[in-house]
Amino acid sequence: MGPSGCGKTTLLNLLGNRVGSKGVQGTITLNGHKITKNSKRFVAYCTQDDIFFPHLTVKETLSYTARLRLPREMSRRDKLKQVENTMALLNLTKCANTIIGDHMTRGVSGGERKRANIASELLTDPSVILLDEPTSGLDSSLALELTKILKEFAVKQRKPIIMVIHQPSSQVFESFDKLMLMADGHMVYFGERAGVVKYLADQGYKCHPNFNPADYILELLNDNTIKQKLINAYTHKTRDDPTGKQIFEKYSRRTRADNQLNNTILNAPVTSERRWEATFLQQFSILTERTFKQNIKISLSKVNISQTIALTIFCILIWLQIPFSETNINDRIGSIFFGSVVWSFYVLSGSVSSFPLDLVMLSKERQSRSYRLLSYYLSKQIAELPLVLFNPALFTIPVYWATNLLPDFGRFVAYLVVVLLSALTSQSFGYLFGATILNVQKSITVSLSYVKYSYSLLLQIQFDSPKAQFRCARPEELPAGELSMCVGDDVPMSSIPGISIIENLGLNDLPWYANLMVLLGFCIVVRVLAYYSLRKNSRRNKE
């Protein structure tokens, strides 16, 4: 406990091995052994921010966590039973089937959200639980209720809980066993919570009997002069115990019977033979299911479907049954360009904007050794594939026939495939820019490079065909001063072949198969680059 900025959360992050080793001195042990990657998941860490996928229910959220993190020897039924027991312990049964929600979507209450955050860590049966301000944002009654639940759990399960807290109520304060006071990165007191008032009184700072000790302590530590005196006093008191060993032995709650187990249980290394509890295929399957269930409620929401239908109707009204005539060539080109570009940018912006939540969740779950990065990335590709393609297909199929594009089923299929491939390529760029944490404007600017190839390919599908013949315009049909494309040849023309239109546009520099290969290359290579970028940033966060 201590005032804001005193180093409470930094200390907790160090204990949880979440800030790397750069600039850190000393050692952190668990049962006398250094914490390793394989023992890290036995230390539960609940962040101050409750990070969840908003469209999953409480039960779904905990079930996926259990399936990923509980021992693989446990059956699925036993894992789900563990979820039920944990929800009952934290009074979450009533809201089990309520979505978590966020600032945009109504879900569980603030107290339930806090308890769900803690439940996701407790259900894995950790050896130590670290909590960063679990009562922040809660009123005094909810904070007390949560503290009582945690106290009961600590006593019954004999699990140490280390909690960072800023300014608890008197009832919450009295529930603590031991207390460490901090100020400016220094310890001011460590010992029994019940002894802190006497210690401060011995230093000349007596707390009034009817005053909340926690409020009084913060009042003292916010005074620079008093704070420095208390820091100096505690430094002087512990000058003969630089490692804290004497203090530890003085306040340890180990019994004589416990000490008899010293060389077996208490000093045994807390570790696991496996880096991950779930196998690669299990991780891939579980994450695919979770990602699909979360994203389908966003991608196929009523708002998104309504937007797609409205856009479809809008385009049909503008380009309804475009005639195969010279005067309407630009209309045909415009409809093709619009249909190509709009879904490219729609998918790109959606992929970039969705990545921040994914990256936060990825960091949280990777810290607890829940799954491999590769299983997460591959599952994301598979789960989002049908969701990304649904809206472009819903738009393209009716618009193609209603706007009178080339009436050939083979050309229609090719056109649809290119539109969907273009959407997937946009998603690839979205992954890359999201993984490298670029902003949306930079993302759109850089991604313009591939649109040329998809646009050229669509025009080739529509115009490079014997069926693509456009009736020459009569003089009165053309704007003043404009000549028909049919004029100037030695042989009079009654129609314009589509290939000559592509040549006039300067988009015949590559054959159709080359444009297709370039588009496929972009789609695959950029996804690979996105993975390695994500991997690099993930390692940087660990450091």
Question: Domains in the chain: how many in total?
Answer: 3
Give the Cα separation of 92 and 85 in Å (integer). 10
**Residues 2 and 74 grouped into a single domain:** no
* Of 125, 159, 191, the domain-final residue: 125
The two beta strands, 178-183 and 186-192, are: antiparallel
**Does residue 480 lie within any of the structural domains?**
no
**Does residue 228 lie within any of the structural domains?**
yes
**Residues 305 and 421 grouped into a single domain:** yes
Which residues lie closer than 8 Å to 46 by C-beta, 6 or more apart?
A: 117, 118, 121, 129, 130, 131, 132, 134
* Of 184, 209, 240, the domain-final residue: 240
* Of 90, 125, 160, the domain-final residue: 125
Is residue 157 within 8 A of residue 203, CB to CB? The reply is: no
pTM: 0.82
**Does residue 266 lie within any of the structural domains?**
no
Residue type (1 letter), 96: A
**Does residue 478 lie within any of the structural domains?**
no
Q: Tokens representing 410?
A: 């083979």
Consecutive 10-residue averages of pLDDT for the chain (543 residues): 88 82 79 76 82 90 91 89 90 90 85 88 86 85 88 87 89 91 90 90 88 90 90 86 75 59 54 77 93 89 92 94 90 92 86 75 82 92 92 95 93 94 90 70 61 90 90 80 71 80 84 91 90 78 54
DSSP string, 55-112: TSBHHHHHHHHHHHHS-TTS-HHHHHHHHHHHHHHTT-GGGTTSB---SSS--S-HHH
Q: Residue 68 belongs to what domain range?
A: 50-125
**Does residue 417 lie within any of the structural domains?**
yes
Write down the pLDDT at residue 67: 92
Write down the pLDDT at residue 524: 92
**Residues 97 and 65 grouped into a single domain:** yes
**Does residue 192 lie within any of the structural domains?**
yes
DSSP state of 208: P
**Residues 135 and 102 grouped into a single domain:** no
**Residues 71 and 140 grouped into a single domain:** no
Give the Cα separation of 147 and 159 in Å (integer). 14
**Residues 226 and 152 grouped into a single domain:** yes
**Residues 136 and 119 grouped into a single domain:** no
**Residues 77 and 223 grouped into a single domain:** no
**Residues 334 and 351 grouped into a single domain:** yes
**Does residue 291 lie within any of the structural domains?**
yes
Q: Tokens representing 382?
A: 């598979």
**Residues 340 and 399 grouped into a single domain:** yes
**Residues 353 and 461 grouped into a single domain:** yes
**Residues 144 and 109 grouped into a single domain:** no
